[in-house]
Amino acid sequence: AATCYTLTNLLHLFFWFYLSPKLWPSQATSNFFAVIVFLFSSRSNTVLDLSGQLAFSRKRQTVVKKNKKGVSWKFTPDCTHPVEDGILDSANFETFLKEKVKVNSKTGNLGNVVQIVRQKNKISFTSEKQFSKRYLKYLTKKYLKKNNLRDWLRVVASDKESYELRYFQISQDDESDSDE
């Protein structure tokens, strides 16, 4: 199989052979000029192989490979206790996440890559791209701070794929000491 040269490689060869005429016979130089003129005049995807004959080839199409494993990252923030107490609105938290989550460094660019679905008091967050649980925790803390709930609630990881919002533990002993 002959090795094919692209147009830029042909230009490099042309200048190299043109500047050193001892390496290339005069007849071959005229044939080379004809090939270069043909390449510039035609709009097709033409390349020259080593034997000096013209070879026609198609451009390669880029193929997007999908994950064969179907790997997805799934996280579930559990808002059960604050929602039952009426402190937190899960629908509002869901819209906050949809607006603030960044995909490819752009907010509101969820597309088919990230799905955010609310199921009663839990919000399931599924991503086809690699996604950090820490980033989701950061956004949750940001939401709590925005709604002045950060002093009352904390974000605790309950297992590897989920975390929950819990109240800070305030001991009864501290309150009785402060009353005296």
Count helices and strands (H / E) in the chain.
6, 10
113 has a pLDDT exceeding 50: yes
Range in 45-54, 100-109, 127-136 the model is least confident about: 45-54
- What CATH class does 73-169 carry? alpha beta
Residue 87's DSSP bridge partners are: none
Burial 20-54 (b: 16+ CB within 10 A, else e): eeeebeeeeeeebeebbeebeeeeeebbbeeeeee
33 has a pLDDT exceeding 70: no
Mean residue pLDDT of the chain comes to 75
pLDDT at 157: 92
Q: Domain residue spans in the chain?
A: 4-56, 73-169
* More confident position, 68 or 18: 18
50 has a pLDDT exceeding 50: no
Position 37 confidence tier, pLDDT thresholds 50, 70, 90: low
